[in-house]
Amino acid sequence: MTSNDSRTMQFGRRSYLKGCVVGLGSTLSLAGVAGAAEGEEQYEQQYETVVDVVEAGADNGGDESVTPVLREHVGDNTLLKFPAGQYYMDEQLRLTGFENVGFVGENATLIPANYHEFDGPQYRLFRMGTSNTPGRDLRFAGFSVDQTASDTGIRVLSAVVEDGLVVRNVFIHGIHDSGTWGPGWFDITDSDGRGLVERFCAADGGLHVEDTPNAGNMWRGPTGIGVDPNHRGTLVFDSCVLGGFPGTGLYASNETGRIDVNGGRFRNSGTASIRLGGATGTIRDATVVVDENPHDSNGQHAIRLDHGDQFALEGISIDIDQPNGDAIRIMNGVDTTSITNSEISVANGLNNGIRIDPEAGATAIQDVDIEMDGSANAVQIQGEDAGAVDLQDVRITGDADGSTMRHAILCYRNDCRFDGLSVEQRGSNKRRGLELRGDDATVVNSEFETTHTPIVVNGADNVTVENCYADSVDDVSSLTIIGGSGSVSLANNDFPDGVRDDR
């Protein structure tokens, strides 16, 4: 995880936990789809026909559209090779129901026509498969895309396949300023199918549609990478890079299937830089940065989990230099989530580190560093009986004040456990540590140093606090029990500022 071009993180890189969490198992291998280091001869042997597109008549000087040549020669069991050069495209290539088709560039650059000169649907360069007639076994690799000219930007590849998708080394240069669809769209339609999208990079992002020639014809503007409800298999996004897109960065809106995000860097998109749905999903070793709002978005969550059975976030780094959304938001439709071995930094603002919505299910947060410099919650746990939330070895630091949200951790939910917390919040305006409003809470083996009251029990019943140290800088009380609270069990604690019991 790196943040070389964001504000300096105050915590260093740590070794990442490996292995499965919340029962998801390790990331599925795609070795059967594509090896890690394929040679030219290896993949050429997978096709009955290999076509050098320049020898077939395509112009690699960037002057004439190559789409007619591609359309003439593309077909089942065919690999189209693009030698070094520039390939101009002013209309889409569409193929459905195909078997075993490849497009491979060798220092090849695709140049899309601008919005005004593109012939036909102004949305895609390559449309490979549809939800009704998907293809099978598609390779697309080794292309740069030059959209640096004004009013360019297009969906480079729309790939809807049953199984066997390999997309590698696609580098898009220039901001997407045409206002049409974003650069990548991928679905695996077979529940047993697999796909790999590796190093698909659009670091320059896109403009809001109202600042483009397509103004009024789209909501907000392009999304960087999309997955829709037709996805049912497994998609792995490995080492992808997305700049700020006005729609969303990586948006998986599927109801079924699995999405794995491995590594990569995601930055400044509207709604969320990574937004996931589906049955299961993982985000591992990814870096998300929010340090600019280029589209005047109302919210820019770093990661948003919309709906699904199980999600695991591991080894992630989130740096929110200009807060305009939560670092991680877990929505009501999510059943189970784990967040482990990760780092979150939220600058001065009113957005949370981790927000768990009222109906989001059981959540485990383990070995996580959260730096909070704004008056918000490092962890906000909403709801009552949606599922237990466990925090273990969570470290909260920073200069957050208590002017808006008093507490570093605010818990409304029942059956929550806090083990091994380290909360150091010495900001102004009565900044506090942990407030418990849910019943059957347990706080053990934890340390608090806060400006105001470190631990508050507010209307909760059957609360246990054991083996904890809690120091108030303002010398108010180590623990306050507010009137209306139920039973509170205390054992082996070190409370230098005493207990205030208002029951």
Between CA 200 and CA 8, with CA 294 as vertex, the angle to 5 degrees is 75
- Report pLDDT for 8: 29
Q: Whole-angstrom Cα distance, residue 317 to residue 266?
A: 11
Residues 6 or more apart whose CB falls under 8 angstroms from that of 370 comprise 344, 345, 346, 353, 354, 378, 379, 394, 395, 396, 397, 398
- Report pLDDT for 271: 96
* Number of other CB atoms surrounding residue 166 within 10 Å: 23
Between CA 402 and CA 408, with CA 403 as vertex, the angle to 5 degrees is 25
Q: Whole-angstrom Cα distance, residue 175 to residue 450?
A: 45
Contact 238, 196 (CB under 8 A): yes
Helix (H) or strand (E) holding 404: none
Give φ, ψ of 259 to 5 degrees.
Answer: -125, 125
Mean local confidence (pLDDT), 111-134: 95
E strands within 352-487? 354-356, 362-372, 379-381, 389-397, 407-411, 417-419, 422-425, 432-436, 442-444, 447-450, 455-457, 463-466, 469-472, 479-481
pLDDT per residue as tens digits for the range 465-501: 999 999 999 999 999 999 999 999 999 999 999 999 9
Q: How far apart are the first and last CA of the chain?
A: 48
pLDDT per residue as tens digits for the range 33-66: 333 334 556 789 999 999 999 999 999 999 999 9
Helix (H) or strand (E) holding 329: strand 328-346
Written as one letter, the residue type at 144 is S
Question: How big is the chain, counted in residues?
Answer: 503
pLDDT per residue as tens digits for the range 294-324: 999 999 999 999 999 999 999 999 999 999 9
Helix (H) or strand (E) holding 72: helix 67-73
Distance of CA 260 to the CA centre of its chain: 10
Q: Whole-angstrom Cα distance, residue 347 to residue 354?
A: 14
Helix (H) or strand (E) holding 40: helix 40-44
Mean local confidence (pLDDT), 154-181: 97
DSSP state of 22: T
Tell me the torsion sign for CA atoms 367, 427, 493, 437. Answer: negative
Inform me whether the pLDDT recorded for 9 exceeds 70.
no
Inform me whether the pLDDT recorded for 4 exceeds 90.
no
Q: What percent of the chain has pLDDT over 70?
A: 92
- Report pLDDT for 121: 83
User: 280 or 27, which is more confident?
Assistant: 280
Mean local confidence (pLDDT), 390-417: 97
* Number of other CB atoms surrounding residue 24 within 10 Å: 20
Tell me the torsion sign for CA atoms 261, 102, 52, 182. Answer: negative
Q: What percent of the chain has pLDDT over 90?
A: 90
CA distances from 452 to 40, 425, 448 (A): 65, 9, 11
- Report pLDDT for 352: 97
- Report pLDDT for 102: 98
Mean of all residue pLDDT scores within the chain: 92
The arrangement of secondary structure in 48-325, i.e. its CATH architecture, is 3 Solenoid (2.160)
Q: Whole-angstrom Cα distance, residue 289 to residue 2?
A: 10
- Report pLDDT for 15: 27
- Report pLDDT for 40: 53
Inform me whether the pLDDT recorded for 31 exceeds 80.
no
Comparing 23-32, 350-359, 375-384, 487-496, the range with the smallest average pLDDT is: 23-32
Stated pTM of the model: 0.92
Comparing 8-12, 134-138, 337-341, 428-432, the range with the smallest average pLDDT is: 8-12
Contact 413, 442 (CB under 8 A): no
Q: Whole-angstrom Cα distance, residue 489 to residue 295?
A: 51
- Report pLDDT for 41: 60
Q: Whole-angstrom Cα distance, residue 417 to residue 432?
A: 18
- Report pLDDT for 122: 86
